[in-house]
Amino acid sequence: MKTLTLSAPAKLNLFLHINGRRADGYHELETLFTFLDFGDELTFSLIENSDQITVTGDTSGIPLEDNLIYKAAKLLASYKKINVGVEIHLTKNLPMGGGVGGGSSDAATTLLALNILWRCQLTIEELAKIGLQLGADVPVFVEGKTAVAHGVGEQLEPMDIAQKWYLVVAPPVHVSTALVFTHPDLPRNTPKLENGWKLSETGNDCQTLVKKLYPEVEKTLSWLLKYAPTKMTGTGACCFAEFENREAALRVLESLPSSWQGFIAQNTSESICHRQLRAWQN
């Protein structure tokens, strides 16, 4: 039995602009994704002479057929070159529904791992197209590079940004992405970025609405803003503050109100999952 353990990293949207709404109901957007060196952990154990796919661990009672990890494995199964099944064990470290990409990252990590273990021999581009069937954020995790995303999130433009320390805080609310993106008060007319744009001039178009709908998010942002520049990631509920060093971030984490969860991590230009996978293959 061959076993592989990989991280499924968190992501932050350092900005999120909504440029318009398409006829099919999806939104045109621009967002800067960066990865953190912290995330869920998945262990893949091959099962010889089997087509079985099982998911164990911190699945939060989600039915197997609705689990993104299982869906990713099922999508890839038709490409496998060897007769083996897989048991996938999830250790959940990221908050669910927090906007840090936990489910999408888990799905992308599954695609990347099984592409190797099952000898599917698909390219990153082919895996990203498969991942798009699972969610708009999955391709960026498959690609594994800090990038500006355009379109519905599938058009990726890699870029380099400064490395910082982040404190990520999850207030005890679950934000409905569907509610946010269908709400009439959501801004949908932010102009597209032009050459020479600066991160300091960007924002999150969902943030004002989410603060109104979920007062606990507004409370979290206000508390963090006392210590450092602060934004919400994605549609929330997680909020983050940026620091120059670990010690400063840790001090604020230690004073976090007990009803909130949080963690500190550095951003990375390449996903930790990709680095681990490359080391394992070598």
The answer to whether 117 and 2 have CB atoms below 8 angstroms apart is yes
pLDDT of 1 > 70? The answer is no
In tens, the pLDDT along 46-63 reads 999 999 999 999 998 889
The pair of structure tokens assigned to 142 is 């498959």
The answer to whether 273 and 198 have CB atoms below 8 angstroms apart is no
Residue 103 annotated as binding?
yes
Q: How far apart are CA 55 and CA 58, in angstroms?
A: 9
- CATH assignment, 165-268: 3.30.70.890
pLDDT at residue 8 in the model: 98
- Return the closest-CA partner of residue 75 out of 22, 114, 17: 114
Q: What angle do CA 243, 174, 19 make, to 5 degrees?
A: 70
Mean pLDDT of 192-197: 92
Q: How far apart are CA 126 and CA 137, in angstroms?
A: 15
11 is catalytic: yes
In tens, the pLDDT along 100-122 reads 988 999 999 999 999 999 999 99
Mean pLDDT of 260-282: 95
Residue 104 annotated as binding?
yes
The active-site residue, picked from 40, 106, 137, 205, is 137
CA 275 to chain centre: 17
Topology of the domain comprising 3-159+271-281: Ribosomal Protein S5; domain 2 (3.30.230)
In tens, the pLDDT along 215-258 reads 999 999 999 999 999 999 999 999 999 999 999 999 999 999 99
Answer with the residue of higher pLDDT: 41 or 152.
41
Q: How far apart are CA 199 and CA 257, in angstroms?
A: 29
Domain extent listing, the chain: 3-159+271-281, 165-268
Residue 100 annotated as binding?
yes
71 is catalytic: no
Residue 99 annotated as binding?
yes
Residue 105 annotated as binding?
yes
